[in-house]
Structure 1
Amino acid sequence: MANFYPRWFTMYPTAALTGLTSSSFTWSASAVIVHKVATADLKNKIGKQVDIATQKYFGIYLGIVAFGQIFSNGVTGLILEFVNDDLLGLNHKTVETDFDINLTLTTQAPQYKTTNSSVIDISQCAARDCPAEYAYSDSTKLDVFIPDDSSRYVLLGWYLFMQLGAVLLHSIAMDSIPVDNYRKNIIANKNEEESPTRKPLLDKPKEENDCSALFASIKIFILHLTSLQGILSAPVYLLYGLTISFIWSEFSRAYVSCVVGISQVGLTSALVDLLSLTVSMIISKCASNFGRFYIFIFGMCYDIALYVATLFWVPTPSTSYLVYIFASLFGVTHAVRRNTQYLTTSALCPDKDVGFTIQNVLGGIGLMMTYAWTTAFCVYVKIYIMIGSVVVTTVLWVFSNRIHHKKKLTDNSKNQS
């Protein structure tokens, strides 16, 4: 409904439901699962072995996610490129209202052009794009961001087909768990946790157990987030949210749609994910050789160079191909930032379940910040913000990692003595 009847009463509930179901549940749960799989056989191990296992499995997991995104973006690119209203025999209609004379005119005009140079001055795209200048007016620049109606129908149909296909695939391929065995496992796990000096946990009211666990998690969440370790590592998660929202909103709009057309968003997104997949697998294989510290230092130097390049580039029809190169380069940034936030959680948070929740919450806040100021600032201002965020985050993380390393050495010394 939000796609085909965009009004405030369809878009706001859609956004709320997406945040509740997709972000808060899915990503937190998947991160916890991957960590438990990675450390399943390392319960009695500490230090480097756990770090290596975590880095490996998160690299594999993020690589699989990137592969799925490459496939989806490839299909999206094909739909936007080849499916249009002219192909399906639909007519474009736009309505312009003259408020001075109260006259309404209906004109035949395409909503979307693949050659943007004939519609707008592309030298005002990229870092010089300022949404505040056209977002609230009937500017012709808005035309390049609007796909054909037929493209939206095909995209939605394909999306629903993928969702139903996934449910069918899971129902066929996954073994079902008998209810009786499931309940027996829960009872067995609870009995293992009972204290020898107290009544078994099963004797307590269920509501009391659930509430105690909930408030205990919230307490750990607040204590870690307000600790020195939590404060110093929090910018890592914020930066990840800022980074992915910059790529999927600012870069996709001001660089891709504005310069080479909205039909290329799928292709450039696939390039981002392709490089993200490749670099994630490299980090998975090689992270144990150079460690988290050098990943962060590399990420800072690389990001600064990339943001400076996008800041000073002035697009022209003859250099529009650079959009695809930038997309590939942002794929490296995407992989590094995504892996560093998972590595930070697995290394610095004592309670991993709470740590991944903090990661998800702060990453969401980073997303929210970008979308909140997307029409308030020009893109070059946002690039300055990204450069500053990268530098500050890296410096604070170095301090956080140093504190964690000293604490680990102290704890090991105490255990040995």
Structure 2
Amino acid sequence: MTYECEEDRDDTTIQGKETRNCLILASTFLAACTAFNALQNLQSSLNEKHDLGVLSMSAVYGAFVFSGTYGNVTTQAVCGAAYCPLSTNGTTILTPDEGVVHIMLGVFVACDILALVITVCFLSPLPKSAWISEASLKDSLSSFFVTVFTTKFIFLVPMLLYIAVAVSFLFGDYTRSYISCPIGIHMVGFVMAAYGAVNAFGTFVSSRVAKYTGRHVLIATAALIHAAVFTTLYLWTPNETDTKYIILLPLGWAIADSIILPQIISLVALYFPEKKEPAFANAHTWLALGSTLTFALSSILCVYVKLYTMFALLVTGIGMYIVAEILYKMETKKNMRINE
């Protein structure tokens, strides 16, 4: 009888472990992102002095760019689109006691440690793709920059930037100017938890609906929802009696986000089937760059200026996305004729 040691088994394949690994990754993301997203949502309100919150988030996403390449309110309460960080009409938000903040940060650190332990101890080793195994550092960098200047990818860049800017505005500006300002910092967690739940559910549903409607209808729907939300934010000045509207707006926002990001990211895989690694690296680099710029400028620009910017990026992004789809269809038809 022959006994096989655990160490001698071939663990380089994940075949048959897909469900297990999916559950492990989901648990890891739940623990890590619960901490990161919760703290991100509070940064602009909790560390409002000298805009340290948004500047720290700019530094975080700046690091992502580098790695991707390789109610209580208020003395002078001006909420909504009229909020300007450099103006004397700014809002002073009462923050929790230091003890409460330290407890919260301790819980977040524990969540991150738990995520690390789950990943290290339970996730199966992932096999390297042929491209990663064979590509040198020079090849990786070359493919990265070649992909950037591919016509199809260039036409996706404005949409990637738009997605990053819009999400960063939600985390940095909506939480401060439309939640903490009118109804208090203690409501940020509740509102953003509702956003996260709807976003998760919407992602699950939209991926199945796309089989019947196609991505074009879904992306157009998401763009219209975003446009409606931004118009409302521009025209509306929230106050302490608008709690239900302050909660409802991010829910509509979440539905649009649950559609547009997965669909655009899926296009990267569709457009670059042979170069997925550098293509995804480029996509996440542009997303991180958009977040970096948004958080960096958050301490300078008025909210209404940011809304103008998002509108412009949305229109430009949708227009160039349409061109990218046309180019892809033309290329597909050309390849079919060659294969015939």
Bin for the TM-score computed over the shorter chain? 0.7 to 0.9
Q: Do residues 355 (structure 1) and 279 (structure 2) align?
A: yes
Change (3 A) 1:381 1:270: same
What is the Cα deviation at residue 340 of structure 1? 2.7
Q: What residue is the counterpart of 2:30 in the other structure?
A: 68
- Work out which of the residue numbers 257, 270, 277 in structure 1 matches 2:200: 277
Counterpart AA for 1:236: M
Change (3 A) 1:143 1:220: same
Structure 1 segment 146-225 matched on structure 2, within 5 A? 146-170=95-119, 173-174=122-123, 213-225=136-148
Change (3 A) 1:339 1:134: farther
Taking the aligned partners of 1:76 and 1:374, their CA distance within structure 2 comes to 19
What is the Cα deviation at residue 171 of structure 1? 5.3
What is the Cα deviation at residue 237 of structure 1? 1.4
What is the Cα deviation at residue 255 of structure 1? 0.7
Taking the aligned partners of 2:28 and 2:122, their CA distance within structure 1 comes to 22
What is the Cα deviation at residue 273 of structure 1? 0.8
Change (3 A) 1:232 1:171: closer
Q: What residue is the counterpart of 1:115 in the other structure?
A: 72
What is the Cα deviation at residue 67 of structure 1? 8.6
> Can you list the C-alpha shifts for 1:243-290, whole angstroms capped at 9, x where unaligned?
111110011111111111111111111111111111101112111112
Q: Percent identity?
A: 17
Structure 1 segment 243-322 matched on structure 2, within 5 A? 243-322=166-245
> Can you list the C-alpha shifts for 1:144-186, whole angstroms capped at 9, x where unaligned?
3x332112211121122222333444455456x7xxxx9xx88
- SS of residue matched to 2:241: helix
- SS of residue matched to 1:314: coil
- Work out which of the residue numbers 111, 130, 133 in structure 1 matches 2:84: 130
- The answer on whether the counterparts of 1:236 and 1:393 sit within 8 Å (CA) in structure 2 is yes
What is the Cα deviation at residue 76 of structure 1? 5.9
Counterpart AA for 1:130: C
What is the Cα deviation at residue 65 of structure 1? 8.6
Q: What residue is the counterpart of 2:313 in the other structure?
A: 389
Q: Do residues 143 (structure 1) and 93 (structure 2) align?
A: yes
Runs of 5+ in structure 1 lacking a partner? 1-36, 42-56, 81-113, 194-208
Taking the aligned partners of 1:288 and 1:339, their CA distance within structure 2 comes to 14
- Work out which of the residue numbers 405, 408, 413 in structure 1 matches 2:329: 405
- The answer on whether the counterparts of 1:240 and 1:341 sit within 8 Å (CA) in structure 2 is no
TM-score by length of 2: 0.75
- SS of residue matched to 1:311: helix
Superposition RMSD in Å: 3.5
Taking the aligned partners of 2:163 and 2:322, their CA distance within structure 1 comes to 17
Change (3 A) 1:353 1:170: closer
What is the Cα deviation at residue 230 of structure 1? 1.9
- The answer on whether the counterparts of 2:165 and 2:294 sit within 8 Å (CA) in structure 1 is yes
Counterpart AA for 1:143: I
Residue-pair matches, total? 290
Q: Do residues 373 (structure 1) and 327 (structure 2) align?
A: no
- The answer on whether the counterparts of 1:70 and 1:274 sit within 8 Å (CA) in structure 2 is no
- The answer on whether the counterparts of 1:237 and 1:362 sit within 8 Å (CA) in structure 2 is yes
- The answer on whether the counterparts of 2:195 and 2:251 sit within 8 Å (CA) in structure 1 is yes
- SS of residue matched to 2:298: coil
> Can you list the C-alpha shifts for 1:338-386, whole angstroms capped at 9, x where unaligned?
2133122112224111111001110011111211221222101111111
- The answer on whether the counterparts of 1:276 and 1:332 sit within 8 Å (CA) in structure 2 is yes
- The answer on whether the counterparts of 2:225 and 2:253 sit within 8 Å (CA) in structure 1 is no
Change (3 A) 1:232 1:173: closer
Taking the aligned partners of 2:313 and 2:277, their CA distance within structure 1 comes to 26
Taking the aligned partners of 1:303 and 1:76, their CA distance within structure 2 comes to 23
Taking the aligned partners of 1:125 and 1:384, their CA distance within structure 2 comes to 17
Counterpart AA for 2:93: D
- SS of residue matched to 2:300: coil
> Can you list the C-alpha shifts for 1:77-100, whole angstroms capped at 9, x where unaligned?
9xx9xxxxxxxxxxxxxxxxxxxx
Q: What residue is the counterpart of 1:44 in the other structure?
A: none
- The answer on whether the counterparts of 2:144 and 2:282 sit within 8 Å (CA) in structure 1 is yes
Taking the aligned partners of 2:204 and 2:309, their CA distance within structure 1 comes to 29
Runs of 5+ in structure 2 lacking a partner? 1-13, 43-70
Taking the aligned partners of 1:281 and 1:383, their CA distance within structure 2 comes to 28
What is the Cα deviation at residue 132 of structure 1? 1.0
Counterpart AA for 2:337: S
What is the Cα deviation at residue 392 of structure 1? 0.8
Q: What residue is the counterpart of 2:45 in the other structure?
A: none
TM-score by length of 1: 0.62
- SS of residue matched to 2:96: coil
Taking the aligned partners of 1:410 and 1:256, their CA distance within structure 2 comes to 52
Taking the aligned partners of 1:157 and 1:128, their CA distance within structure 2 comes to 35
Taking the aligned partners of 1:396 and 1:300, their CA distance within structure 2 comes to 13
- The answer on whether the counterparts of 1:272 and 1:327 sit within 8 Å (CA) in structure 2 is yes
